[in-house]
A and B are shown apart, each in its own frame.
Chain A
């Protein structure tokens, strides 16, 4: 059995696990959480194994079509996909451990695990598929699971947030589907590699521009770029903390960043106009997200606004399209997924211990929750780019790349946004964790070990994250993903080799 056959398991096993949980989860209480932890651990180990395989042997392609036909759905695992896959698996595993204690206070917890596995299956599908319509279907699977998870706490405001997210997400999907229809009418294929071949041999076309605009609208909405960001500050805080961590840490990158990279760099091909749009929207997102974050008093809402800002850095990086800029963007994707998951898990720990997320009602938590206090401080330092934490290196690389490319204005905005982030996140530390303990918080306790452990692992990852830049490790993990983006045209040749 070749390694390529493993690819379909990434989608089939979480889906089957989800269905199994809905079938027996009601009768066997502990089964759902055990199954989720085992499956996500298995996925993490497989993803790391495939990282080495892809590094050694190049791209893996799994085709469901008969013979060498490109009509069937194909799954493609290249450097960028395996990079995203490792992020998804790592965060899913840590969050699955965290969820065990956190989710206890809700009823019918097995529904949570079933939806969680469906969400993971959808994201795995999005990052591995080689067929553009299949990408849309997995996008919708993820959206449906996410909408249900946002409303999981069945509070008033959660339904409101879920409805808002659902409507906006569906409108984004309409534009994506329209773009897919236009792509099909232009190229007569749904296979992304063949599409890329047609685009590479057709020269400059007007329909390419039209499709690009629709796709930026659709996927930009999923990535919460600034004109399309309105749903994020409502949807991400309303979900239970583990889901918020998954949404802000992984989902906006898998559904927004990855898809835009794949389609623009590997399929349609980038033009200076599109790069300009990425850079401009990225910079606006950085500033607007930072300014929105400073004004918030709800911890999770503040973190969600800061996510918009950090997505801006990533888009500025890939918009520069220089090797340094792309390195910064790819590294920041990994760093931000760790940092933001850590911060959301911390916010969940605070909510678990005190029952509130309002900074005005908190204070002096350091005395009662020392571990959470330290991990919060590490996360804050890391996301605002203080050395020697990992966020510092990726932001520094992006800013240096912007200066090297002659984009001084963008570089200046990136520095300003970093200060805004520092201000917003220090507000959480200052009002929540420092100062005298509020009398009504005297009885609180540190969270159980099951919740502390993932937070400690992520905090350690934030401290040691900079090591990924050491030559040797860099080529293994970040280098492959960067090559996929920089040598965008190679994608179609490598995939089409498997069909001739």
Chain B
């Protein structure tokens, strides 16, 4: 049981990072942490069963591709806006 709680705390940390941090790179790190927490939860529910392991392997690859897209976007945003600060990036909120 404590393992699940720790997993939940990890997920909460990831979500906190996504929602509260102003730096885009820190938000992406939050995405990665939350992704790990979900994968960990999937493995924890039955670690003697091969299916969750196969599923988590796929899920890690999917997560990797998403993180690559996010980082590519972050690089282009930095080129255009000259900042990683999400509160400075507000062309759509005038």
- Taking the closest CB of chain A, its distance from the CB of B22, in whole angstroms, is 13
Interface presence of B65 (CB below 8 A) = yes
- Specify which chain B residues have a CB less than 8 angstroms from the CB of A164 in the assembled complex: 92
Task: Give B41-70 interface residues, CB cut-off 8 Å to A.
Answer: 41-42, 45-46, 49, 51-52, 55, 58-59, 62, 65-66, 69-70
Contact A166–B58 (Cβ < 8 Å): no
Please name the residue on chain A nearest to B35 by beta carbon.
A174
Q: Main secondary structure on chain A at its contact with chain B?
A: helix
Please, what's the 1-or-0 string for B1-36, where 1 marks a CB less than 8 Å from any CB in chain A?
Answer: 000000000010001001000001001000100110
- Specify which chain A residues have a CB less than 8 angstroms from the CB of B69 in the assembled complex: 144, 147-148, 166
Provide 20 A-B residue pairs closer than 8 Å at the C-beta atoms, listed in order of the A residue: A71-B51, A136-B59, A140-B66, A147-B69, A156-B81, A160-B90, A160-B91, A161-B92, A166-B66, A167-B27, A167-B31, A171-B15, A174-B11, A174-B38, A177-B59, A180-B42, A181-B38, A184-B52, A185-B46, A190-B55
Interface presence of A197 (CB below 8 A) = no
Contact A163–B38 (Cβ < 8 Å): no
- Taking the closest CB of chain B, its distance from the CB of A28, in whole angstroms, is 26
Task: Give A106-158 interface residues, CB cut-off 8 Å to B.
Answer: 133, 136-137, 140, 143-144, 147-148, 151, 154, 156-157
Task: Give B70-94 interface residues, CB cut-off 8 Å to A.
Answer: 70, 73-74, 76-77, 80-81, 89-92
**Which residue numbers of A lie inside 8 Å of B, CB to CB?**
71, 133, 136-137, 140, 143-144, 147-148, 151, 154, 156-157, 159-164, 166-167, 170-171, 174, 177-178, 180-182, 184-185, 188, 190, 234, 238
Contact A178–B41 (Cβ < 8 Å): yes
Contact A151–B35 (Cβ < 8 Å): no
Give how many A-B residue pairs fall within 8 Å (CB-CB): 84
A268 to B46, CA, bound (A): 22
Please name the residue on chain A nearest to B50 by beta carbon.
A71
A170 to B24, CA, bound (A): 14
**Which residue numbers of B lie inside 8 Å of A, CB to CB?**
11, 15, 18, 24, 27, 31, 34-35, 38, 41-42, 45-46, 49, 51-52, 55, 58-59, 62, 65-66, 69-70, 73-74, 76-77, 80-81, 89-92
A178 to B10, CA, bound (A): 13
- Specify which chain B residues have a CB less than 8 angstroms from the CB of A133 in the assembled complex: 55, 58
- Taking the closest CB of chain A, its distance from the CB of B73, in whole angstroms, is 5
A162 to B69, CA, bound (A): 10
Contact A178–B38 (Cβ < 8 Å): yes
A167 to B38, CA, bound (A): 16
- Specify which chain A residues have a CB less than 8 angstroms from the CB of B65 in the assembled complex: 140, 144
Contact A167–B42 (Cβ < 8 Å): no
A171 to B74, CA, bound (A): 17
Partner of B51, one of A136, A157, A166, A184: A184
